[in-house]
């Protein structure tokens, strides 16, 4: 149980285009999902917290107009990197927290999406 699917796993795009990444909880409902960014050999940096049916909460320094987050259902959150540039190239990872699991804050992670912007 507790499987999180992230798609696509790898995407290459041209500078200036937009890329959408999907994060789905397959066997549980997630009122809260999280989006992280990971640079090579670095830790995960939280970008934003996505709550179902409401606006995402962005961490300081993360441009909300650049990284659009939508959490339209209890099993799906999407991250759209708008007008991507080479500096946006990174490994993006989502996680989902099961409903009712807020106290333990156990997050299940997707396999990540490697974004390469040419």
CA-to-CA distance for 67 and 85, rounded, in angstroms? 12
Tokens for 11?
């995407």
Q: What mask of x and - would describe binding to another protein in positions 17 to 36, judged by CB under 8 A?
A: ---------------x-x--
Report the relative pairing of strands 67-73 and 76-81 from DSSP bridges. Answer: antiparallel
Report the relative pairing of strands 107-109 and 19-25 from DSSP bridges. Answer: unpaired
Q: What mask of x and - would describe binding to another protein in positions 40 to 59, judged by CB under 8 A?
A: --xxx-x--x----------
Residue 75 is a binding residue for another protein (CB under 8 A): no
Block residue for tokens 């809260």:
32
CB 105 to another protein: min, Å? 6
Residues engaged in binding another protein (CB under 8 A): 4, 6, 32, 34, 42-44, 46, 49, 93, 95, 102-112, 114
């Amino acid at each position: 149980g507790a499987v999180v699917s992230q798609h696509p796993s790898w995407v290459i795009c041209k500078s200036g285009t937009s890329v959408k990444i999907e994060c789905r909880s397959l066997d549980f409902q997630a009122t809260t999902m999280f989006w992280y960014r990971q640079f090579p050999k670095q830790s995960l940096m939280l970008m934003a917290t996505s709550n179902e049916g409401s606006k995402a909460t962005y961490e300081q320094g993360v441009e909300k107009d650049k990284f659009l987050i939508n959490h339209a259902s209890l099993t799906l959150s999407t991250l759209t990197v708008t007008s991507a540039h080479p500096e946006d190239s990174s490994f993006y990872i989502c996680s989902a927290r099961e409903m009712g699991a807020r106290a333990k804050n156990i997050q299940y992670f997707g396999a990540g999406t490697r974004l390469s912007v040419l």
